[in-house]
Amino acid sequence: MSDRPDVIVVGGGLGGLLVACEVLRRGGRPLLLEAGPNPGGVAATIHDQGYVLEPAAGSFLLPHSHLTPILESARATTVPAAAAHRRYVYNRDTLFELAGPAAAATRLVTTRGKLRLLREPWVSTPPGSADESLLAFLERRLGPEVGRLGATLMAHGVFAGDPAQLSARAAYPRFVALEDGSGSMVRGGIERRRSRPEGTPRATVHVAPNGMAGLAAELAAHLGDDFRADWPVESVQHDGDEWAVVGAGEERAASVVVALAPAQAARVVPARLAAILDEAHAAPVAVVGLGGHAADLPVPSGFGALTGPDTDLHILGLLFESSYAPGRSPARHRLLKGIFGGAADPSVLGLSDDDLVELATEEAGRMLDVPLLPSWTRVVRHEAGIPQYHLGHGAWLERLDGLGAELPGLHLAGWGYRGIGVSSLAEDAALIAQRVLTRR
Ligand SMILES: Cc1cc2nc3c(=O)[nH]c(=O)nc-3n(C[C@H](O)[C@H](O)[C@H](O)COP(=O)(O)OP(=O)(O)OC[C@H]3O[C@@H](n4cnc5c(N)ncnc54)[C@H](O)[C@@H]3O)c2cc1C
């Protein structure tokens, strides 16, 4: 029996780890090669003076049909978040709560906007399935006011993106599928809920108590010696019926999964694929952690607040870390996390760390309507950026798929392609694992 792996996975971020663990769960043998000393990629949790700052993924929804089985098979530790259902929006200089009794009477949306929203089920659907921006799609369906608000929140919350540039179909396929399937988002949502088998548990926000880096380490440990750190891959070459992966050594397998962001992947894959990957968009973001004594940093109960379209603030979102994820700050202390930059405001990354902290402190204070005096601060910059699924992303994916026939056994995974969140990475992992194992 050959000791060759069924698949070589390049990149030990959450995307690559989920693919490798899913292949293992289905009875295959993956070999994962990671350039750095640790698994986890951008989700590199910072532990400092009792604060735990997640610079990237910090929460995810469970149970999930694909993520849950992978995490369970690796015995990865997760716990439910606290009070995560309490969410806020900051718009027109006011913080609005979206859950609970306050939500029903919210003045976030005008009466005119609410009345237009009620007409959504009767809005006609244009023929065809043209690529449409998230802003255009939601304005068409929900009306100009709620559409612009919703598109801004969705773009800020997941992509740090520009709603006029993001493709609705690529960035939020489930929403567009509601219109495709039922002619209305409201009707589609109701039908989807009704079709759910009775007793299906509702997914709720979960966190990794040992940090996302801890969760990544648990997934890597599950792979045993088939997770190799300090193994930078230089090239992935098609050689006869198999793939040669060259870097710290040479490894061969019938399939290879390149789980790197498109710009990183372009440096190692065959040139004709690299040329397409180089067209991908990404937007840099900065994450600012503000910690301090509860008296100096009063953090409301809940998950956090996103900023709407009618504000002069730079901050895209403010997460109440110590509120929904206990353990992220020392006792009697609190932690806030602000997200800056993104597609609409990349120049803010030109600020020094000190200026970013000052901006975050001032803007978070305005959002919460209280002066903040943080005693612990940290700035993490994602210069390579969050992938942006701009208009044309679907056609770009089709061109990549089109090359698949010329490069059999090569797959692309990670957040650059079919979803940004950890649960999307797990869905992708299931699809890729199935393709890899049918090729054995
Ligand atoms: C601010 C922010 C907040 C977020 N919040 C959430 C959230 O709350 N929930 C959620 O679900 N998601 C969230 N995400 C998204 C989530 O963090 C990402 O989807 C995920 O971490 C991306 O993982 P990846 O493996 O695709 O990429 P990466 O993390 O970039 O991993 C790629 C890996 O490949 C390695 N590598 C690079 N080049 C090579 C090479 N040549 N050879 C070998 N290895 C190589 C790198 O060292 C790295 O480890 C957030 C992201 C950001 C930036």
- Please give the chain's pLDDT, 440 residues, in tens: 468 999 999 999 999 999 999 999 999 999 999 999 999 999 999 999 999 999 999 999 999 999 999 999 999 999 999 989 899 999 999 999 987 666 666 789 999 999 999 999 999 888 776 899 999 999 999 999 999 999 999 999 999 999 999 999 999 999 999 999 999 999 999 999 899 888 888 899 999 999 999 999 999 999 999 999 999 999 999 999 999 999 999 999 999 999 999 999 999 999 999 999 999 999 999 999 999 999 999 999 999 999 999 999 999 999 999 999 989 999 999 999 999 999 989 999 999 999 999 999 999 999 999 999 999 999 999 999 999 999 999 999 999 999 988 899 999 999 999 999 999 999 999 999 999 999 77
Cβ pair 210, 15 in contact under 8 A: no
- Output phi, psi for 99, to 5 deg: -115, 165
Q: Give the residue, out of 52, 420, 423, 428, with the most ligand 1 atoms within 8 A of its beta carbon, to mutate for a pocket test.
A: 420
Looking at the DSSP assignment, which residues form a beta bridge with residue 334? 292
**Ligand 1 within 6 A of 285 CB?**
yes
Q: How far is CA 211 from the centre of its chain?
A: 16
At residue 190, the pLDDT reads 93
Tokens of 314: 């730079």
DSSP 8-state secondary structure symbol assigned to residue 1: -
Cα 359 from Cα 348, distance rounded (Å): 10
Distance CA 161, CA 163 (A): 6
Binding site membership of 284 for ligand 1 (Cβ less than 6 Å): no
Measure the CA–CA gap between 425 and 416, rounded to whole angstroms: 10
Give start-end residues of each CATH 3.50.50.60 domain in the chain.
7-43+62-77+209-270+407-438
Residue 295 has a CB neighbour count (10 Å cut-off) of 10
Q: 198 alpha carbon to ligand 1 midpoint, in Å?
A: 35
Pocket test for ligand 1, best of 219, 250, 264, 423 (most atoms within 8 A of CB): 264
Tokens of 61: 């929804």
- For 385, the token pair is 């950026």
**Is the shortest distance between the CB of 12 and ligand 1 below 6 Å?**
yes
Domain with CATH 1.10.3110.10 in the chain: 111-195
Question: Own/partner pairs for 395-401, CB < 8 Å, 24+ apart?
Answer: 395/131, 396/276, 396/279, 396/280, 397/170, 399/276, 400/273, 400/276, 400/277
Nearest CA owner, ligand 1 atom 53? 56
Cβ-contact 143, 116 below 8 angstroms = yes
Tell me what pLDDT residue 1 has. Answer: 47
Indicate the SS3 state at residue 435. helix
Ligand 1, residue 419: give the atom nearest the CA.
Answer: 19
pLDDT (0 to 100) of residue 354:
98
* Ligand 1 atom at minimal distance to the Cα of residue 260: 32
Best residue among 61, 205, 260 to mutate for probing ligand 1, ranked by most atoms within 8 Å of CB: 260
CA 192 to ligand 1 center in whole angstroms: 31
CA of 214 to the centre of ligand 1 (A): 14
In the reported structure, the alpha carbon of residue 43 is separated from the centroid of ligand 1 by a whole-number distance in angstroms of 6
Assess contact for 419 and 158: CB atoms under 8 A: no
Task: Give the class (CATH, top level) of 7-43+62-77+209-270+407-438.
Answer: alpha beta
Query: What is the bridge-based pairing of β-strands 242-246 and 250-253?
Result: antiparallel
**Which residue lies with its CA nearest to atom 49 of ligand 1?**
41
Residue nearest to atom 17 of ligand 1 (CA): 57
Q: Are 268 and 234 in contact (CB under 8 A)?
A: yes
Going from the Cα of 225 to the center of ligand 1, the distance in angstroms, rounded, reads 22
From the CB of 7, is ligand 1 less than 6 Å away? Answer: no
CA 167/CA 129 separation, integer angstroms: 12
Q: Which amino acid is at 338?
A: G
Specify whether the CB–CB gap between 152 and 308 falls below 8 A: yes
N residues, the chain:
440
Contact by Cβ (8 Å): 157, 306:
yes
pLDDT at 200: 84
CA of 41 to the centre of ligand 1 (A): 5
Helix, strand, coil tally for the chain in percent (to 5):
40, 25, 40
Of 50, 75, 41, the C-alpha closest to 265 is: 41
Ligand 1 site, residue 258, Cβ cutoff 6 A = no
What is the separation, in whole angstroms, between the first and last Cα of the chain? 13
Compute the distance from residue 420 Cα to the ligand 1 centre, in Å: 9
Cα 241 to ligand 1 centroid, rounded to whole Å: 30
- Across 4-151, the runs of DSSP E, i.e. the strands, are 7-10, 30-33, 46-48, 51-53, 60-62, 79-80, 87-91, 94-97
Which string of DSSP letters, residue by residue, matches 377-388? EEEEEEEEEEEE
Ligand 1 close to Cβ of residue 264 (< 6 A): yes
- The span from the CA of 272 to the CA of 280, in Å, is 14
CA–centroid distance, 260 to ligand 1, in Å, is 8
CB atoms within 10 A of CB 400: 16
**CA dist., res. 428 & res. 100, Å (int):** 34
pLDDT at residue 26, as a whole number? 98
pLDDT in the model for residue 101: 61
pTM over 0.95: yes
> How far does residue 413's CA lie from ligand 1's centre (Å)?
11
- For residues 123 and 116, give the distance between their C-alpha atoms in angstroms, rounded to a whole number: 10
Phi/psi for 348 (5° steps) reads -65, -20
Query: What is the spatial distance between Cα 286 and Cα 294, in angstroms, rounded to a whole number?
Result: 24
Q: Specify the residue with its C-alpha closest to ligand 1, atom 22.
A: 415
Measure 76 CA to ligand 1 centroid, in angstroms. 18
CA distance linking residue 269 with residue 261, whole number of Å: 12
* Topology of the domain covering 111-195: protoporphyrinogen ix oxidase, domain 3 (1.10.3110)
Residue matched to tokens 């806030």: 336
